[in-house]
Amino acid sequence: MVTSSIYQKRVWFITGSSKGLGRALAETVLERGETVVLTARNPEQIKDLAASFPEHTLAVQLDVTKPEEVREAVKQAITNFGRIDVLVNNAGYGVLGAIEEVRNEEVRRQFETNFFAVLEVLRTVLPHMRQQRSGHILNISSVGGFVSYAGTGIYNGTKFAIEGISEALAQEVTPLGIKITIVEPGAFRTNFVTRSLVITDIQINDYEKVIGAMRKDARDILDMKLEFNEPGDPKKAALAMIKAVDSDNPPLRLVLGEDAISAINAKLDSVKAELDAWTEVSVDTTFDEVVLAK
């Protein structure tokens, strides 16, 4: 266990602490002797973790889509510990379906949880970090926040939006001593499919060749309650995020997993090749030089 006073005094606020990467990160931070505000829609799911570290935890009920619960959770954190040093916006889920297949209400619910809730939480915490003139915000995106895939376009849209505001936010708050890191995990063994994936019930035959296999695999995992052996280790992901927070010069983007690195590199190569191929057309859109009459 780390005994350095800087770690013992640091207070983390983690949304979605009950499962997945949020749970792995909370456990790892607590094992180091730091303090964590554990949040979950169902506090019973984090009761055991709070009981194991009673002096370093505060368990709070939090549905991130409810602004009044966000304000109350942040208020409790400040009342109990006096500060929030690290905010981790981790809560979220995915929708699987072609863009045309996802119902309007499913689209709005997806954005409400994955984007607007993140915005609400960080805008509630930011005044405290500005007053401290310090802090670090980790917005959990995905490799799908940089690379889109057929069948997950709505989910991709929410994560692209997170990346857009995070880039701007980093420029706004860095002069105030606040750091921003976008975390882009690939596939990690967190049972995401069985606990955090919604499959749309509309199925259009024209998209079957494109996303049919993906939909079938996901349904098989759900129906048979299978465990999908993703390559990523959540504990190692937690250690990587902590390393970024410990750094004096943390990355704006922290990519996690060899699969994510490969996908992002492939997209960067594709974007560069297309940019080069169409450069002449692109630059030919400027005004022609105006010739003045003599």
Paired tokens of 217: 């695999």
| 39 sits in which H/E element | strand 35-40
CB 104 within 8 A of CB 53: no
What is the pLDDT at residue 5? Answer: 46
For residue 230, name the pLDDT band (cuts at 50, 70, 90). confident
Q: What is the mean pLDDT of the chain?
A: 92
CA–CA gap between residue 145 and residue 159 (Å, rounded): 4
CA–CA gap between residue 27 and residue 29 (Å, rounded): 6
What is the pLDDT at residue 8? Answer: 55
- pTM comes to 0.91
What is the pLDDT at residue 224? Answer: 64
Q: Which of 17-21, 131-135, 186-190 has the highest mean pLDDT?
A: 131-135
CB 45 within 8 A of CB 16: no
What is the pLDDT at residue 156? Answer: 98
Model confidence pLDDT, tens digit, residues 113-140: 999 999 999 999 999 999 999 999 999 9
> Is the model's pLDDT at 26 over the cut of 90?
yes
Q: Is 179 exposed, middle or buried (0-12, 13-18, 19+ CB in 10 A)?
A: buried
CB 49 within 8 A of CB 26: yes
149 is catalytic: no
What is the pLDDT at residue 292? Answer: 66
Paired tokens of 107: 């689209």
Tokens 């297309």, residue located? 274
196/292: higher pLDDT: 196
Q: Reduce the DSSP state of residue 60 to 3 states and report it.
A: strand
The residues with which 197 forms a beta bridge, in sequence order, are 94
Quote the radius of gyration of the chain (alpha carbons, Å): 21
Share of the chain above pLDDT 70, in %: 93
**Domains annotated on the chain, with CATH:** 5-259 (3.40.50.720)
> Is the model's pLDDT at 265 over the cut of 50?
yes
Share of the chain above pLDDT 90, in %: 82
Out of 4-18, 70-84, 240-254, 256-270, least confident range:
4-18
For residue 2, name the pLDDT band (cuts at 50, 70, 90). very low
What is the pLDDT at residue 225? Answer: 60
- Catalytic residue, chosen from 18, 159, 166, 179, is 159
The full DSSP string for 173-202 is HGGGTEEEEEEEE--BSS-HHHHHEEE-S-
Question: What mean pLDDT is predicted for residues 197-209?
Answer: 93
- Catalytic residue, chosen from 141, 142, 166, 179, is 141
159 is catalytic: yes
What is the pLDDT at residue 193? Answer: 66
> Is the model's pLDDT at 272 over the cut of 80?
yes
- Catalytic residue, chosen from 17, 18, 19, 155, is 155
> Is the model's pLDDT at 181 over the cut of 50?
yes
> Is the model's pLDDT at 4 over the cut of 60?
no
What is the pLDDT at residue 1? Answer: 36
